[in-house]
Amino acid sequence: MDATAADTDASGAPQLRPQTLVLTFYGNHVLEEGNHGVYSGSIIDVLGRVGTSEQAVRSTLTRMVNRGLLRRQREGRKMFFGLTPHAADILRDGGRRIWEHGAVNEDWDGSWTLLGFSLPESWQRQRHDLRSRLTWSGFGALYSGLWVAPGHADVRGIVSELGLDAHVKVFHARADEFTDIGLMIRESWDLETPAARYVAFDERWADGELASGDPIASRLRLVAEWLRIIRTDPRLPVEHLPPDWPARRAQETFRRTARQTEGPARKMAREVLETMVLRSA
């Protein structure tokens, strides 16, 4: 079965969660504006352009407020939503992954970060949370309680935030010569899924047709689709990946399309978004 078949719609487009689209929208148009809120009607309008229903947007905004990702402020009969500091940090991290680090790791120094943990059997939630955060940070499972990531991965914030300092050990090391790094990578990470997603992304966006329509909708879907791929890509050393690794070509397509859509999307955002400066929290 196609690795992307289970998470695409009938047209082949990736199925994007409303929260992903809302966060991408804020990253595109609000993050750098400071303490600004956006009228809910404007958010409904923009997400409607990519097929998200009004009901889905409204329920997503409420959930994001409850989760501490958004804050809201009423002005007359209108409700405005702005980012919390926590959400802003998440978006800045995503921005660094998109615009600074890129999808192709060509500057690996040969080192690895090893993280070992042993948690009580009853700590299922903590174990799930730790594994999820490690996966997001590029780690793969060498063994059940021993995870590895290329380069110097700083996981102190993750471990402390989860309250697991006493249960985690972290080392930085280099592999011995007899270690088959290519084999280790194939055993510790799923390469087929991100490869299939890169190929599908490039096939969807390379000809420029998707970027030729509504600019604010095109850029929203472009960035959301790209972030969906790279957030689960561990950025493994390119020299230990297949020679035809599709991330490079997909990244070229993304960056070219991002340049094409940036100006028109910003112009449209100024025209259609109703915003205001929120009161200090």
Domains, in order of start, for the chain: 111-174 (3.30.70.270)
Q: How many CB atoms lie within 10 A of CB 264?
A: 15
Instruction: Give pLDDT, residue 9.
Output: 63
Q: Which residues of the chain have pLDDT under 50?
A: 1-6
pLDDT given at position 118: 96
**In the chain, pLDDT over 90 holds for what percent of residues?**
82
Q: For residue 82, how many other CB atoms are within 10 A of its CB? A: 24
Best CA proximity match to 160, nearest among 121, 129, 120: 129
Structure token pair of residue 139: 């780690």
Query: Whole-prediction pTM value?
Result: 0.86
Runs of H (alpha helix) within 67-180: 85-95, 124-136, 156-161
Q: Is 230 helix (H, G, I), strand (E, B) or coil?
A: helix
**pLDDT digit string (tens) for 220-248?**
999 999 999 998 788 999 999 999 999 99
The string of pLDDT tens digits covering residues 3-39 is 444 466 655 678 899 999 999 999 999 999 989 999 9
